Structure 1
Protein backbone atom coordinates (compact mmCIF):
# COMPACT_ATOMS: atom_id res chain seq x y z
CA UNK A 1 0.00 0.00 0.00
CA UNK A 2 1.27 3.47 -0.85
CA UNK A 3 0.71 6.81 0.83
CA UNK A 4 -1.42 7.88 -2.14
CA UNK A 5 -3.95 5.18 -1.14
CA UNK A 6 -4.38 6.62 2.36
CA UNK A 7 -6.46 9.58 3.46
CA UNK A 8 -4.13 12.39 4.56
CA UNK A 9 -6.60 13.43 7.27
CA UNK A 10 -7.26 10.11 9.06
CA UNK A 11 -4.94 7.52 7.50
CA UNK A 12 -7.77 5.19 6.37
CA UNK A 13 -8.00 3.82 2.84
CA UNK A 14 -9.23 6.59 0.56
CA UNK A 15 -10.61 4.25 -2.15
CA UNK A 16 -8.96 6.34 -4.86
CA UNK A 17 -9.11 4.34 -8.08
CA UNK A 18 -6.27 6.41 -9.58
CA UNK A 19 -3.91 5.46 -6.75
CA UNK A 20 -4.59 1.73 -7.18
CA UNK A 21 -2.70 0.19 -10.12
CA UNK A 22 -5.56 -2.30 -10.66
CA UNK A 23 -8.13 0.45 -11.26
CA UNK A 24 -5.97 3.39 -12.36
CA UNK A 25 -7.82 3.66 -15.68
CA UNK A 26 -11.12 4.40 -13.91
CA UNK A 27 -12.23 7.79 -12.66
CA UNK A 28 -11.94 8.34 -8.91
CA UNK A 29 -15.11 8.50 -6.82
CA UNK A 30 -14.25 12.13 -6.02
CA UNK A 31 -14.89 13.17 -9.63
CA UNK A 32 -18.63 12.69 -9.11
CA UNK A 33 -19.08 14.65 -5.87
CA UNK A 34 -18.74 18.19 -4.64
CA UNK A 35 -16.19 18.61 -1.84
CA UNK A 36 -16.53 21.76 0.26
CA UNK A 37 -13.36 23.85 -0.27
CA UNK A 38 -13.31 24.53 3.49
CA UNK A 39 -12.68 20.80 4.07
CA UNK A 40 -9.59 20.95 1.88
CA UNK A 41 -8.41 24.22 3.44
CA UNK A 42 -8.66 22.61 6.89
CA UNK A 43 -5.85 20.21 5.95
CA UNK A 44 -2.34 21.33 6.86
CA UNK A 45 -0.65 22.78 3.77
CA UNK A 46 1.92 19.97 3.64
CA UNK A 47 -0.86 17.36 3.28
CA UNK A 48 -2.82 19.06 0.51
CA UNK A 49 -2.66 17.72 -3.06
CA UNK A 50 -0.78 14.59 -1.97
CA UNK A 51 -3.64 12.05 -1.87
CA UNK A 52 -7.44 11.87 -1.94
CA UNK A 53 -9.36 12.23 1.26
CA UNK A 54 -11.56 9.29 2.19
CA UNK A 55 -15.31 9.84 1.63
CA UNK A 56 -15.88 10.31 5.37
CA UNK A 57 -13.24 13.02 5.78
CA UNK A 58 -14.34 14.66 2.52
CA UNK A 59 -17.85 14.78 4.06
CA UNK A 60 -19.45 13.32 0.92
CA UNK A 61 -20.82 10.00 2.18
CA UNK A 62 -24.41 11.22 1.68
CA UNK A 63 -23.65 12.27 -1.91
CA UNK A 64 -22.13 8.87 -2.70
CA UNK A 65 -25.02 7.01 -1.07
CA UNK A 66 -27.60 8.95 -3.07
CA UNK A 67 -25.75 8.13 -6.31
CA UNK A 68 -25.61 4.42 -5.41
CA UNK A 69 -29.27 4.12 -4.37
CA UNK A 70 -31.65 3.14 -7.17
CA UNK A 71 -34.10 5.85 -8.09
CA UNK A 72 -37.69 5.02 -7.17
CA UNK A 73 -38.95 5.63 -10.71
CA UNK A 74 -36.52 2.97 -12.05
CA UNK A 75 -38.42 0.29 -10.14
CA UNK A 76 -41.66 0.80 -12.08
Structure 2
Protein backbone atom coordinates (compact mmCIF):
# COMPACT_ATOMS: atom_id res chain seq x y z
CA UNK A 1 0.00 0.00 0.00
CA UNK A 2 1.25 3.47 -0.84
CA UNK A 3 2.18 5.90 1.94
CA UNK A 4 -0.42 8.65 1.70
CA UNK A 5 -2.45 10.54 4.34
CA UNK A 6 -5.59 9.49 2.48
CA UNK A 7 -4.76 5.85 3.35
CA UNK A 8 -5.96 6.53 6.91
CA UNK A 9 -9.52 7.26 5.75
CA UNK A 10 -12.12 4.56 5.22
CA UNK A 11 -13.47 4.87 1.66
CA UNK A 12 -16.97 3.95 2.85
CA UNK A 13 -17.65 6.06 5.96
CA UNK A 14 -14.84 8.62 5.47
CA UNK A 15 -13.70 8.19 9.09
CA UNK A 16 -10.23 7.21 10.26
CA UNK A 17 -9.70 3.51 9.55
CA UNK A 18 -7.07 2.89 12.28
CA UNK A 19 -4.97 0.92 9.79
CA UNK A 20 -1.34 0.38 10.73
CA UNK A 21 -0.42 -2.10 7.99
CA UNK A 22 3.02 -0.50 7.59
CA UNK A 23 3.88 -1.57 11.15
CA UNK A 24 2.90 -5.13 10.13
CA UNK A 25 0.74 -5.47 13.25
CA UNK A 26 -2.56 -4.06 12.04
CA UNK A 27 -5.99 -5.34 13.07
CA UNK A 28 -6.80 -5.67 9.36
CA UNK A 29 -4.31 -8.52 9.01
CA UNK A 30 -6.48 -10.71 11.25
CA UNK A 31 -9.81 -9.79 9.60
CA UNK A 32 -11.37 -11.41 6.57
CA UNK A 33 -12.69 -8.61 4.41
CA UNK A 34 -15.59 -9.79 2.24
CA UNK A 35 -14.74 -9.76 -1.46
CA UNK A 36 -18.19 -8.32 -2.22
CA UNK A 37 -17.42 -5.32 -0.01
CA UNK A 38 -14.10 -4.72 -1.78
CA UNK A 39 -15.78 -5.18 -5.16
CA UNK A 40 -18.07 -2.22 -4.35
CA UNK A 41 -15.09 0.15 -4.13
CA UNK A 42 -14.00 2.26 -7.12
CA UNK A 43 -11.02 0.71 -8.92
CA UNK A 44 -8.74 3.66 -8.12
CA UNK A 45 -9.22 3.08 -4.36
CA UNK A 46 -8.75 -0.70 -4.22
CA UNK A 47 -5.47 -1.57 -2.52
CA UNK A 48 -4.88 2.04 -1.50
CA UNK A 49 -7.38 2.72 1.30
CA UNK A 50 -8.42 0.26 4.00
CA UNK A 51 -12.05 -0.22 4.95
CA UNK A 52 -12.47 0.38 8.68
CA UNK A 53 -13.37 -2.28 11.21
CA UNK A 54 -16.81 -0.76 11.84
CA UNK A 55 -17.78 -0.80 8.16
CA UNK A 56 -16.65 -4.42 7.81
CA UNK A 57 -18.65 -5.47 10.88
CA UNK A 58 -21.68 -3.50 9.69
CA UNK A 59 -21.48 -5.15 6.25
CA UNK A 60 -21.12 -8.63 7.76
CA UNK A 61 -24.08 -8.07 10.10
CA UNK A 62 -26.30 -6.81 7.28
CA UNK A 63 -25.28 -9.74 5.05
CA UNK A 64 -26.27 -12.26 7.73
CA UNK A 65 -29.76 -10.76 7.99
CA UNK A 66 -30.47 -11.38 4.29
The two structures have a TM-score, normalised by structure 1, of 0.60
Where structure 2 has 5 or more consecutive residues not aligned to the other structure, the ranges are 61-66
Among 12, 20, 28, the alignment partner of 2:15 is 12
User: Which of the two has higher C-alpha Rg?
Assistant: 1
What is the CA RMSD across the aligned residues, in angstroms?
2.2
**Structure 1: which 4+ aligned runs deviate by more than 4 Å?**
none
Give aligned pairs, total: 56
TM-score normalised to structure 2 length: 0.68
Structure having the higher helix fraction is 2
Greater RCO, CA 8 A, separation 6+: 2
Note the residue ranges of structure 1 that are not aligned, 5 or more in a row.
Answer: 19-23, 63-76
